[in-house]
Each structure stands twice: as C-alpha cells, then as structure tokens.
Amino acid sequence: MASHDRSSNTPANSAGNATVVVATNRRARHDFDIIDTFEAGLVLHGSEVKSLRESKVQLAEAYARVRGGEAWLHSLHIAPYSHAGVSTSHIPDRPKKLLLHRSEITKLGARLDQEPLTVVALALYFKNGRAKVELALARRKHKGDKRRDIATRDADREAARAMSRGRAGRPD
C-alpha cells in the first residue's frame, strides 16, 4: 500500500522541511508598502485545522493587533469543517491568537504606536505540520503611489522588450 507524500509536490527549504501554502493575500502587496515581514504561529481548534487543510479560508481582510501584551489576528475567516458536528464546530470569524516571542510582541506594539502602520497577513501555510501565518508590517499606499508603481513596472517591461529586440538583431 503506497502512502501519499504531501511534500512531493510542495517546495522544501534547505533543511528539507516541507511547506504547504494554504492561502495568499496577493492584494496586500498592491495596497500596501511592505516594510518588514515575519512569521507567527496560530492557536487553532481541531476543526479549524481540518478546514485549513481543505483550503477553506479567506485571508484578504486579515490584520493583526497587539492588545494586553498579546498579538491577535482579526478578520481571518475559516469556514466550518464540513464533517464536524454542531458541538465540535468552531466560530468562523473569531480572533486567533498569534504565537510570537514576548520581545517580538513588544517591538511590534511599540512600532505600531509610534508610526501609522498596520500588520497585514500575506500568507497562511503549514510548515512541518504546524499552521503559520506570514505577517507584514506595512504602510497603506495612496492612489498616486499605485500609479507610480504601475508606471515603473510598465517602463521596466518596455526596457526589457527593447533589450531583447536588440539582442535578436531586430530593429524597432
């Protein structure tokens, strides 16, 4: 009987530890300037873990706050597990406690108090069988910043095309 190797179709880091990505927040990189990123564990109930393994999660509006010396992840919607009973099911939108070192929480709280920054969730994944979330300390972009990013990306793309045409020996 052959066993299914979950790590065979997922990227592995240099130590050989498998990482299974559950959800990503692609919109966050568009709406925010990412200043710093860090990884945190999550305190989850059993049915939440099973729903995550089925990718029944919405990460788009998730953000973190520091309250009372603890970090919490808000607006992370984990759909109820399909095979869970009424008594073992979980509340889909409850705040989830983040597992960070005390020094990390203190630094993060101080930085959030000093500057107009927010902490957004970028990705949710399993690393060595444990649920992790990649968080980013970020500043919201203004409309002009987004337009500037688009113009820069278009200019870079056009420059790359011109260089490839030059290497191929074709004129404009």
In the prediction, which pLDDT does 80 show?
Answer: 87
Tokens standing for residue 145: 């910043």
Total number of domains constituting the chain: 2
pTM over cut 0.95? no
Please name which of 54, 55, 50, 131 lies closest in space to residue 85, comparing C-alpha atoms. 50
**Residue 98 vs residues 17, 19, 95, 119, 134: alpha-carbon distances, Å:** 22, 19, 9, 12, 11
Q: Is the pLDDT of residue 138 over 50?
A: yes
- Tell whether 70 and 130 lie within a shared domain: yes
Same domain, 136 and 156: no
Q: State whether 161 and 83 are in the same domain.
A: no
pLDDT at 59 over 70: yes
Q: Does the structure show a pLDDT above 90 at 82?
A: no
Q: Say whether pLDDT at 133 is over 80.
A: yes
- Looking only at the bridges linking them, the beta strands covering 57-58 and 63-67 are unpaired
Q: Are residues 30 and 80 in the same domain?
A: yes
Give the confidence band of 11 by pLDDT, cuts at 50, 70, 90: very low
Strands 77-78 and 130-140: unpaired
The domain in which residue 152 lies consists of: 142-172
